[in-house]
Amino acid sequence: MRGYFSTREYVLAALLAGALLVTASVIIPLTLPLRIPGLANAANAPLASFFLVIGLARLRKPGSLLLILGLYALTCLLIHPVIFSFILTGALVAEGVSWLLFRGFATPRAQVAGVLLYEMTSFPAAMLFSLWLLPARALKPAWYVFLAAEAAIVVTTLAGCLAGLKVARELAQAGKLNLEGS
């Protein structure tokens, strides 16, 4: 009997979750002292979306985004429950909407849309979970600051997605990444 994901796909998802953790561990601590809403998300989005798009280009199945981000969220649970909560919330929303619209991640459009939905929903989720679980430390930005942060997240995410798609195509041409699925 064959599982939904192969062992190689689980290993790839775990490696991508590790890459997300390493990049966030380097970038986010540099932005937090500034206390600008959304700066950490916008600064981390290019590298995170780069790795996520490459992973989705390879995995392509429904549930792929949730697999990668679920592993990442479980690792981040060791850091703080708020981080786990907003990563998992963003992953569930993005996976659900992507499944309804595209039934998987077979096309570059679906891959970019899934990553963009994740990045866009994780910021408001982070704000809500921070307000709920850490009310003394939570930021309450004005609506225009929130919109500016979301716009910055969209721009940086799209930049990372485009770079990820280009690298995925190059890796496929070099025979190092199978973009046809299993």
pLDDT per 10-residue tile (average), the chain, 182 residues: 86 98 96 89 97 96 97 96 95 96 95 97 92 74 89 98 96 86 52
- Is residue 121 domain-resident? yes
- Is residue 180 domain-resident? no
pLDDT at 116: 98
- Is residue 178 domain-resident? no
- pTM: predicted TM-score of the whole model, two decimal places: 0.92
pLDDT at 137: 66
- Is residue 179 domain-resident? no
By residue range, what is the domain housing residue 84?
A: 7-173
- Is residue 101 domain-resident? yes
pLDDT at 97: 96
H or E segment to which residue 178 belongs: none
Angle, alpha carbons 54-174-55 (nearest 5°): 10
> Token pair of 174, please?
């070099």
- Is residue 66 domain-resident? yes
User: Domains in the chain: how many in total?
Assistant: 1
CB 138 within 8 A of CB 131: yes
pLDDT at 181: 56
Range list of β-strands (E), 10-107: none
pLDDT at 135: 74
- Is residue 182 domain-resident? no
Burial of 162 (0-12, 13-18, 19+ CB in 10 A): middle
pLDDT at 178: 83
pLDDT at 131: 84
- Is residue 123 domain-resident? yes
